[in-house]
Every structure is written in structure tokens, then in C-alpha cells.
């Protein structure tokens, strides 16, 4: 679900940094025979280039401009959603029944409780219009939360983990290169760790707050916290004071997102370890003559390094035959002299003739 666009700025820097030392470790002179596709631009850069002049150029506030583009978009959507929701539910506040405090605070609180699908039921719509309004808000809220989860949280956690790893390594006097390498290898693990710590803090803060401010006993406080962060929201215990609801607005949003992200990373860890064991299996299994023949893409009797890469990555499921076919079609268009290889003259001919484009 989550597109990994936000990960790439870090990835590309660590790539450049991590592999020279990797080469030294094991295959020092052998590896030099092969160049690396250095100039291939990172995916994120291309996307950002293409998005320039879109929404981002319209926003000129100072705070927003400092944020990552995808984070900016999400923040804007969130502010608009809560703003519109508060306005609507404030206007129809007479048609909402239940335990009420301040009109504006209740409207924001109701908006957050609905959007995150906690739905305590301590405030419920009691007219046809408000019921349909709540239906519309919960659907768009779920879509918005999904968007936030996939985009922004990933970015925030990455910033956190960089600070975290830096703090851990500061005494060991290791350079930025080593930190980047460390991050690259254990990316998902660090993310998972960061989100677990954040979740633990949010649970403790929520429990203490409910105990102190809402005068619940410790068990009830913890029960209400669990019921809230999982978006269960039975509603027998909820935030009933004005101060409690102000706290709840921020705390519910943060903790429900945090728990969802926690489960997301847990799934990612599982997927990653499965992929790693598959990659290991593919790489270490014995090559047969049938494999050799299949890997020989240009049918010249030998398997080059690049052919080996394509074969093995296809076996690992990282690339599909469809990807390969698509690129090969483009290759054939560029290979004007049909030699089976591309040279500078092929490129020149292909791009100067109208048939080659």
C-alpha cells in the first residue's frame, strides 16, 4: 500500500556510501570489472521534478514550505478537513445530542472522534441532516487517514530514526557513511522500533491523563486508552470535560495513527524477512544448464553479468516479464543497426530519425 517514494532521498545517499566498503570486505578486485548505474536518477527526484508547478507552488506560507512536499499536501488536506468539519458540526450543534461542553471544542472533538472511527457515542447526531453529514464525514475521514498513513508518517519516522541512530553512534566516533549504511541495512527494524517507542509514550500519557484529569481509576483509564487507540470506542468511558476533550483532539489523532503504523511496520518486517529468505534461496541454489540457456537473453552462448542479474531478479519476483518486454521494445527501437548492442551511433541515428522516437 505505502509507496516508498519518501524513502528514496536517504536511500540514494546511503547507496553511494555503503557499497565501497562492502566491496572491500569480500570481492575486492573482482567487483571492479563492473560499473554501477550511477547516473540513474532516484525515482523521487523525477516525481518531484514533474510535480513542480502543481499544488506546491500555490502554497506560500513559511511553515508549510519547510515541510516535505507529500507531508505538506497531507497537512493541508487534514487542516481543511478538520476546519470544514468543525464549521459544519458547530452550525448543527443543536441537532447533536449527548454530553456537551464548549460548542467549538465539541465540534472539533466530534470531528476527530468521527474521522478516526473511534465513535464513542458520547455525542451523536439526532436529525436526518446531521446523520447524513456524519456518514459523509466518516467516509472521507477514513480515506484521509489512509492517505496520511501511507505518506506522512513514513517521512516523520525516518527523520526520527536518523536522530536516534546518530545519538546511539555518537560515542563510537563513526562517520555519516557508517550511519547511513547502518540505517539502510536495518531500515524497517528502526522504523518499527521508533513507532513502538512513540506508541508506548502515547499509551502512558493517555492513561495518566485520564487518571488525573477525567478521574477514572487506573484500570478504567487503561481500558479507555485501549478502546480509543484501536478505534473500538465502546463509549462507556470517554473524555467528558472541556480540558479532556482539548487533550483528546490531539491525542486521539496521534495515537490511532501510531497504532495503525505499528501494525503496518510489523507486516513490513514479516514481508521483508520472507523476501530475504527467498532471495537467499534463489542466489544459493545450483545453476543448471537449462538455467544457463534460459538466462542467455541475446542467445550468444554465454551469460553476461547483466543477463545474470535480469534472470536472478526475475526469479526473485522483483521484476516481471512484462517489465522486461516493455524495455526490450524500447531497446529494439534504439538499436538502429540491429547489432544487438547499443552504441553512441545507434542513439544518434535513432534520435535524429523520426521513426526512432
CB 159 to its own copies: min, Å: 21
Q: Is 70 in the site for its own copies (CB under 8 A)?
A: no
Q: Is 264 in the site for its own copies (CB under 8 A)?
A: yes
Q: Which of residues 166-205 bind its own copies (CB under 8 A)?
A: 184
CB 151 to its own copies: min, Å: 10
Q: Is 20 in the site for its own copies (CB under 8 A)?
A: no
CB 283 to its own copies: min, Å: 5
Q: Which is nearer to its own copies, 61 or 320 (CB)?
A: 320
Q: How far apart are CA 48 and CA 5, in angstroms?
A: 10
Q: Is 355 in the site for its own copies (CB under 8 A)?
A: no
CB 119 to its own copies: min, Å: 4
Q: Is 338 in the site for its own copies (CB under 8 A)?
A: yes
In a 13 Å sphere around the CA of 243, the CA atoms on its Cβ side amount to 6
**203 vs 188, 207, 212, 308, CA distance in Å?**
22, 6, 14, 50
Q: Is 55 in the site for its own copies (CB under 8 A)?
A: no
Q: Kindly report the number of other CB atoms within 10 A of residue 119's CB atom.
A: 19
Stretch that binds its own copies, among 35-43, 70-78, 85-93, 245-253 (CB under 8 A): 35-43
Site track 88-117 with its own copies (rule: CB under 8 A), x = hit: --------------------------x--x
Q: How far apart are CA 199 and CA 256, in angstroms?
A: 9
CB 89 to its own copies: min, Å: 13
Q: Is 35 in the site for its own copies (CB under 8 A)?
A: yes
CB 70 to its own copies: min, Å: 12
Task: At 74, list the grid cell.
Answer: 497531507
193-202 contact pairs (CB < 8 A, 24+): 193/161, 193/164, 194/157, 194/160, 194/161, 194/164, 195/157, 195/258, 195/261, 195/262, 195/265, 196/262, 198/160, 198/258, 199/229, 199/255, 199/258, 199/259, 199/262, 202/229, 202/251, 202/254, 202/255, 202/258
Amino acid at each position: 500500500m505505502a509507496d516508498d517514494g519518501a524513502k528514496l532521498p536517504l536511500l540514494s545517499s546511503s547507496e553511494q556510501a555503503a557499497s565501497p566498503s562492502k566491496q572491500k570486505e569480500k570481492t575486492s578486485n573482482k567487483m571492479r570489472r563492473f560499473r554501477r548505474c550511477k547516473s540513474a536518477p532516484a525515482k523521487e527526484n523525477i516525481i518531484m521534478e514533474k510535480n513542480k508547478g502543481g499544488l506546491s507552488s500555490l502554497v506560500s506560507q513559511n511553515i508549510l514550505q519547510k515541510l516535505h512536499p507529500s507531508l505538506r499536501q497531507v497537512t493541508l488536506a487534514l487542516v481543511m478537513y478538520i476546519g470544514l468539519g468543525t464549521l459544519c458540526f458547530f452550525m448543527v450543534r443543536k441537532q447533536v445530542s449527548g454530553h456537551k461542553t464548549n460548542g467549538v471544542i465539541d465540534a472539533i472533538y466530534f470531528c476527530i472522534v468521527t474521522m478516526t472511527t473511534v465513535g464513542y457515542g458520547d455525542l451523536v447526531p439526532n436529525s436526518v441532516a446531521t446523520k447524513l453529514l456524519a456518514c459523509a464525514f466518516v467516509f472521507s475521514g477514513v480515506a484521509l487517514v489512509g492517505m496520511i498513513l501511507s505518506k506522512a508518517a513514513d517521512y516523520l519516522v525516518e527523520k526520527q530514526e536518523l536522530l536516534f541512530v546518530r545519538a546511539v553512534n555518537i560515542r563510537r566516533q563513526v562517520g555519516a557513511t557508517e550511519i547511513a549504511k547502518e540505517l539502510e541495512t536495518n531500515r524497517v527494524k528502526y522504523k518499527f522500533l521508533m513507532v513502538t517507542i512513540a506508541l508506548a509514550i502515547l499509551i502512558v500519557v493517555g492513561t495518566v491523563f485520564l487518571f488525573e484529569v477525567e478521574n477514572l481509576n487506573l484500570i478504567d483509564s487503561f481500558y479507555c486508552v485501549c478502546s480509543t487507540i484501536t478505534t473500538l470506542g465502546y463509549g462507556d468511558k470517554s473524555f467528558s470535560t472541556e480540558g479532556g476533550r482539548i487533550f483528546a483532539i490531539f491525542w486521539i489523532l496521534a495515537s490511532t495513527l501510531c497504532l495503525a503504523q505499528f501494525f503496518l511496520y510489523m507486516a513490513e518486517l514479516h514481508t521483508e524477512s520472507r523476501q530475504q529468505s527467498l532471495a537467499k534461496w534463489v542466489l544459493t541454489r545450483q545453476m543448471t544448464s537449462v538455467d544457463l540457456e534460459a538466462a542467455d537473453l541475446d542467445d550468444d552462448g554465454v551469460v553476461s553479468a547483466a543477463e545474470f542479474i535480469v534472470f536472478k531478479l526475475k526469479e526473485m519476483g522483483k521484476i516481471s516479464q512484462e517489465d522486461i518486454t516493455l524495455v526490450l521494445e524500447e531497446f529494439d527501437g534504439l538499436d538502429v543497426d540491429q547489432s544487438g548492442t547499443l552504441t553512441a551511433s545507434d542513439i544518434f541515428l535513432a534520435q535524429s530519425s523520426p521513426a526512432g522516437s
